[in-house]
Amino acid sequence: MADPGCCEKCKRTACVAVAISATALVMGVLLGLMFAWWTAAPDNDHLTYEPSVKQLTDGLQQCQKERHDWTLMLRTVTQDPRCSLCPDDWMWWWGHCYFFSVGLKENLRWNESAEFCRERDSSLVVIKDSAEMEFIQGVMRSFTKFHFLWVGLTDIQQEGRWLWLDGTDIQDDTLLSVEWDSDHRDCADLRGGGKLFAAGCETYGPWICKKDV
């Protein structure tokens, strides 16, 4: 049984790490822009200088790298073998627990995988932003011999209108779309490169569950 004191320590450590990472990311952006402004601005016209697109791009890439490094650190500090923020075989990331069925459970149809998640107080994953997509893609790259993962996205209620299980319309996200859509493909799966594809709900495959910590 997990030691309550240890678990509380894990949670405090994770919260501190999240706060530090968020602060570091913001400071990285600000310092990067200030440095670019200071080093490249004409001496007699500091107030009118605007960073170049390349400088902004380089700063963004540096921040993304730092975010990746902090994410790896966060995974480490929350994987104390004496206690865990998530159940066995689940993975913690930014306040949520994720279950990747690959290698752990037999493949299921979309409805069956959704039921599996519900029985564990979770749901098929609803992907909220690019950072979460990046995390999931990183985990997927560690797997081999599978083609897709079921996610909580379907157009069963209205053909052509793809809704996440929390009711969010995918059209609200300009960066995501569902490919291969057709009348007999009502469930969505996630593949490499962050691509979502329409598929027959009766197809058997692995899946991802997600729940709050």
- What does pTM read for this prediction? 0.66
Q: How does pLDDT run across 29-61, given as a tens digit for each residue?
A: 555 555 555 555 555 455 455 667 777 777 777
Q: Looking at per-residue confidence, does 197 or 20 come out higher?
A: 197
Same domain, 120 and 198: yes
Same domain, 40 and 108: no
Q: How does pLDDT run across 138-189, given as a tens digit for each residue?
A: 999 998 878 899 999 999 999 999 999 999 999 988 889 999 999 999 999 9
Domain range for residue 46? Answer: 4-77
Same domain, 97 and 70: no
Q: Write out the DSSP string of 87-148.
A: -TT-EEETTEEEEE-TTTS--B-HHHHHHHHHTTT-EE----SHHHHHHHHHHHTT--S---
Same domain, 109 and 171: yes
Query: Domain boundary at 54, 77, 100, which?
Result: 77
Query: Domain boundary at 77, 107, 124, which?
Result: 77
Same domain, 170 and 107: yes
